[in-house]
Structure 1
Amino acid sequence: MPVRSFASLPLPDIEGSLAEAVHALDVLGADGVAVETNHHGLYLGDPRLEPLWEYLDRRGAVVFVHPTSPPHADDLALGRPRPMLEFLFDTARTAGDLLFRGVLTRHPRIRWVLTHGGGALPLLADRMELFRTLLGGRPDDAPTAVEQLGRLWYDMAGTPFPRQIPALEAAFGTDRLLYGSDYCWTPADAVLGQTESVDAAVQPSASDTWRDLTTRNACRLFTADAK
């Protein structure tokens, strides 16, 4: 597979992000764009972002979402490293925002990629659907929260085994699971340790390794007609 690249969008500048997306996809040949879970408190379901999502939906673009600190992180983190907990919660928070504000159904051609196995999302998907139903937020014929979140793509950066990927598999399956290392923020020796844990884990089938599966999924993701 050739080397791929994402272009970072300068959110919360929406006009600048639109211009950069056009330039990156049409001039630079980028294979997608990268955003964070929030930009100075602007989460991805915010209606102000609709022009950007409309454009990227028309392009069937890949949108890579990496977590960052939530607003008031100093208070929430209780003095602990923000990537340990807050990043994983913020992934679930912005995915929930995309879901509850209808972005996922309005823009079904965007291929969202969430990191760290979706963070806390696999454990919260059923609870999100419960509250969505109780509060009358889902028409009878609308896809469930689990169905919509299962259409997103997820990487295995972080601590994939023994619990992260099994939880993701139980919630959404592995048809859209990708390899991710978090390098270079994760030091090289830790990345090698993560790879060793993937190779040592129970493999997805008798004929497939996790390397086989994630490589095949990545090839599907980077095709114009990825489903």
Structure 2
Amino acid sequence: MTTARIDVHQHLVPQDYAQWLGAKGITAAGGRPLPEWSPESALALMDRYSIAAAILSLSTPGTHLGDDADARTWARRVNETAADLVRDHPDRFGLFATVPLPDIEGAVCEISYAYDDLDADGVVLLANSHGRYLGDPSLDPVMADLDRRAAVVFVHPSDLPGPTVPGIPPFAADFLLDTTRAATNLVMHDVPRRYPNIRFILSHAGGFVPYASHRIAAAIVAETGRNPAECLEDLRGFFFDTALSGSPAALPSLLAFAEPGHVLFGTDWPFAPEPGVAYFTGQLDTYPGLDRVGRAGIDRGNALELFPRLAKVV
């Protein structure tokens, strides 16, 4: 087992942000109560699971609850909180900056601040923002700015723009569909080819993308007339994390589909509680379909291609 994992899917939940959500009547995300979080508890968890560094991101619902001004204010506050933590622990934490989509102007402004002033490692974008999915042409100004910066973009699911099914919490199935919709829409609108410098990471092994990739490609071909091999190439070109997906059911499809070097370690802590982290990390550690080189790539090496600064500190 490696002693220097890099976790690309770990969240922060600042106390003031959680209190703000609570004042808005939001006490859960994805069907799970907002978890307790602190830098100290994050570091302790990381030490228990051989995680040398974690790239922190804000989970759904993000900061845009309907008001642009509020969304900009809270995106800035969360990003500055996370940046302070990275400065205090540069060898343990990184930052995926949050942006207030669907506010395009606010998002571009926060991307500039995150990169130019906070030295962010990348940006987290929700798969959909109030029903507007990544890939929507209205988001092209954001994509153009991210492309200019050769950004790493972590795509995290949000609530589907529709009702939930009683008894089925969103994190169990809806989140996987949300990520799949975003990936499909990105390829449908040719974003990976129009903005080739962006490196997208799809959370939770890409949702249903690896398993349904040929079916998705067929749908894109029917809609756009594009070459099916090109569509599959674009889908395979995403990066994928293993959060809640290091199982003997999910890993064969993911590893058979993703480009070599495009699978990254993730936990989804603290929204995934520690027993979940233990279970899926343990399944990944004992999966017989990975050799030593492949396992080391997932644990650390593949992430270093995206975040080379961590090679010096972990």
Q: Which residue of 1 is the match for residue 191 of structure 2?
A: 103
Question: What is the TM-score of this pair, normalised by structure 1?
Answer: 0.90
Question: What is the TM-score of this pair, normalised by structure 2?
Answer: 0.66
Larger RCO: 1 or 2 (CA < 8 Å, sep 6+): 2
Q: 1:218 aligns with which of 303, 306, 312?
A: 303
Contact 2:265 2:298 in 1 (8 A): no
Q: Which residue of 2 is the match for residue 147 of structure 1?
A: 233
Q: Which residue of 2 is the match for residue 64 of structure 1?
A: 154
Contact 2:242 2:265 in 1 (8 A): yes
Q: Which residue of 1 is the match for residue 225 of structure 2?
A: 137
Instruction: Return closer, same or farther for 1:106/1:173 CA change in 2, 3 Å cut-off.
Output: closer
**C-alpha separation between the residues in 2 aligned to 1:163 and 1:156?**
12
Q: Which residue of 2 is the match for residue 177 of structure 1?
A: 263
Letter aligned with residue 105 of structure 1: R
Tell me by how many angstroms 1:136 deviates. 5.0
**C-alpha separation between the residues in 1 aligned to 2:223 and 2:119?**
44
**C-alpha separation between the residues in 1 aligned to 2:290 and 2:260?**
9
Letter aligned with residue 97 of structure 1: N
Q: For residues 154-187 of structure 1, what are the alpha-carbon distances to aligned partners after superposition, in whole Å with 9 as ceiling and x for unaligned?
A: 1000132111121111222442100000001011
Secondary structure of the corresponding residue to residue 6 of structure 1: strand
1:190 equivalent to 2:273? Answer no
Contact 1:114 1:153 in 2 (8 A): yes
**C-alpha separation between the residues in 2 aligned to 1:202 and 1:148?**
28
Letter aligned with residue 120 of structure 2: A
**C-alpha separation between the residues in 2 aligned to 1:208 and 1:157?**
20
Contact 1:203 1:210 in 2 (8 A): no
Secondary structure of the corresponding residue to residue 185 of structure 2: helix
Q: 1:36 aligns with which of 90, 106, 126?
A: 126
Q: Which residue of 2 is the match for residue 204 of structure 1?
A: 290
Superposition map of 1:113-124 within 5 A: 113-124=201-212
| Runs of 4+ residues over 6 Å off in structure 1 | none
Structure 2's unaligned 5+ residue stretches are 1-52, 54-90, 310-314
Instruction: Return closer, same or farther for 1:136/1:94 CA change in 2, 3 Å cut-off.
Output: closer
**C-alpha separation between the residues in 1 aligned to 2:230 and 2:242?**
24
**C-alpha separation between the residues in 2 aligned to 1:94 and 1:71?**
12
1:12 equivalent to 2:97? Answer no
**C-alpha separation between the residues in 1 aligned to 2:215 and 2:281?**
32
Tell me by how many angstroms 1:78 deviates. 4.2
**C-alpha separation between the residues in 2 aligned to 1:145 and 1:188?**
37
Q: Percent identity?
A: 37
Secondary structure of the corresponding residue to residue 267 of structure 2: coil
